[in-house]
Amino acid sequence: MKKYNPTTPSRRSMTTVDYGVLSTNKPFKKLLKRLPSRAGRNSQGRITVRHQGGGVKRLYRMIDFKQNKIDIPAKIETIEYDPYRSAFISLVLYKDGERRYIIASKKMKVGDEIIVSEKTPLKEGNRLALKNIPVGYQVHNVEMEKNKGGQMARSAGSYAEILAQEGGFTNLKLSSGEIRKISWNNFASLGQVSNSEHNLTVIGRAGRSRLMGIRPTVRGSAMNPVDHPYGGGEGRTQRGTKRPKTKWGKITGGRKTRKKKKWSNKMIIKRRKKK
């Protein structure tokens, strides 16, 4: 982590990730595109997600989550910052001349060679079927459905641990503590996702939040009764409602939102730990 001299009150506690490990190359132009900034609004122009808007201009990097170039070796050309995700990304050059962006693993270095195959050497960055990965190994970018691309363990520092191989399924322990079954024919990449210190970042000042596209959040207890169930009262008062509620009176902080008959319930062996 990078710390700053306390030149101002906000600088005193501010920290950022040390980007010294990143390549100085410019992003690969053919894999960039501009996404429209909707500021939390839906197709009707109504705000459906509050506290979003503004922020610096940025270009989206098209990431290859499927990594479906089987048995073609690839070389790591760069390790780059991605403004749309917490993890670092890598530009890989396949032997057939094609370049693609993938999520970088923690120990990945420029010049390393990786390969995607049903069965590969157990080297960080390689991608293979779950049934060929021994118990105890860490994996990321895990497929939930065959050929759909990685959907689990993609954020900075995250990984899933192989617990068991039985009956056509692999038991995975996720970062949340949840244990679930995944078909062992699905693919996963070896290793932990890069930028594991991301959670230690201290934003430090309001202006930095605005640059990230985060607008101010007002506490419900600071509002008037007409605006929020927690509003009103003389001075600092208690919540005044039996259960925690949203601005619109919907119960939160305890109500279960997962569908009781969701098809994937049978795949969950152990639920994640409650905070």
What are 259's two structure tokens?
Answer: 């569908």
Cβ neighbours of residue 76 under 8 Å, at least 6 residues apart?
90, 91, 92, 108, 109, 110, 111, 112, 113, 114, 125
How far from chain centre, in Å, is Cα 208? 20
Q: Which residues pair with 90 in a beta bridge?
A: 79, 102
- For residues 174-185, one letter each, b for 16 or more C-beta atoms within 10 angstroms of the residue's C-beta and e for the rest, the string is bbeeebbbbbbe
Co-location of 108 and 182 in the same domain: yes
Across the chain, what does the average pLDDT equal? 92
Domain boundary among 167, 199, 231: 199
pLDDT at residue 160, rounded to an integer: 94
**Owning domain of residue 237:** 218-275
Tokens 């990078």 -> residue? 2
Is there a domain that residue 1 lies in? no
pLDDT digits over 12-69, tens only?
889 999 898 899 989 999 999 999 999 999 999 999 999 999 999 999 999 999 999 9
pTM of this structure: 0.88
**Distance between CA atoms of residues 71 and 119, nearest Å:** 10
pLDDT at residue 253, rounded to an integer: 82
Q: At 223, which CATH number?
A: 4.10.950.10
pLDDT over 90 at 105, yes or no: yes
Co-location of 123 and 33 in the same domain: yes
Q: Report how far apart, in Å, the C-alpha atoms of 152 and of each of 42, 84, 137, 209 are.
A: 26, 17, 15, 27
Read off the pLDDT of each residue in 2-7 and give the average, rounded to a whole number.
90
For residue 20, the SS3 value is: helix
Direct distance between the N- and C-terminal alpha carbons of the chain, in angstroms, rounded to an integer: 26
| CA torsion through residues 32, 36, 39, 40, sign | negative
pLDDT digits over 133-160, tens only?
999 999 999 999 988 999 999 999 999 9
Co-location of 239 and 179 in the same domain: no
